[in-house]
Amino acid sequence: MNLNVSDLAISRGGLPVLEGLSFVLEPGRALILRGPNGIGKTTLLRTLAGLQPPLSGRIEGAEERIAYAAHSDGIKPTLTVTENLRFWASVFGTRDIAPALDAFALNDLADRFAGNLSAGQKRRLGLARLLVTGRPVWILDEPTVSLDRDAVALFADAVRAHLGQGGSALIATHIDLGLAAEVLEVGTFKAAPPPLEDFDGGFL
């Protein structure tokens, strides 16, 4: 099933950010979001994840199918790595956390409290959560922040495996992940600034 986005307009803090955005994300495909800081990539991902409504347009194929990895990784610091993954598995109605531990090289850290992990280790745990969701559409906001080169490679491998199993991924990133993916330049869809209600006042 595709994720279909048609003529989407979105806002943040009451101001329009992007408009006229349309794309299709097919099973087995990855789409990389590119664009300068502040253009609206996070706002777009938040909207697709259902955290805020669009101004207008249509999003089809998102319901109950999206796993969202945001800037904040949402790990529970007083639970161990294993307990975190088991917690998320129970939330999403899945059982097997072993592939997630393996994919992100977390076995040696399995009994450590998540709050005591390094930034990159926490990020690996946050990304491992994707695997226990069982959800097919991964929405990822700068997923490689804090990751070293080996961990970036692990992440790219996990995405490739996910695509190979018929999943899809929409990834906002400033780095080259080495994935066979299309690139969507978000800046093309920058919204026009709202008209000034008080035109003269705008100069004062």
Ligand X SMILES: Nc1ncnc2c1ncn2[C@@H]1O[C@H](COP(=O)(O)OP(=O)(O)OP(=O)(O)O)[C@@H](O)[C@H]1O
What are the residues binding ligand X (CB under 6 A)? Answer: 12-13, 17, 35, 37-43
Closer residue to ligand X (CB): 21 or 114: 21
Closer residue to ligand X (CB): 15 or 204: 15
CB of 48 to ligand X, least distance (A): 12
Closer residue to ligand X (CB): 81 or 191: 191
Closer residue to ligand X (CB): 16 or 120: 16
Residue closest to ligand X, measured at CB = 13
CB of 102 to ligand X, least distance (A): 30
CB of 174 to ligand X, least distance (A): 7
CB of 98 to ligand X, least distance (A): 33
SS3 for the chain, per residue?
CCEEEEEEEEEECCEEEEEEEEEEECCCCEEEEECCCCCCHHHHHHHHCCCCCCCEEEEECCCCCEEEECCCCCCCCCCEHHHHHHHHHHHHCCCCCHHHHHHCCCHHHCCCEHHHCCHHHHHHHHHHHHHHHCCCEEEEECCCCCCCHHHHHHHHHHHHHHHHCCCEEEEECCCCCCCCCEEEEHHHHECCCCCCCCCHHHHC
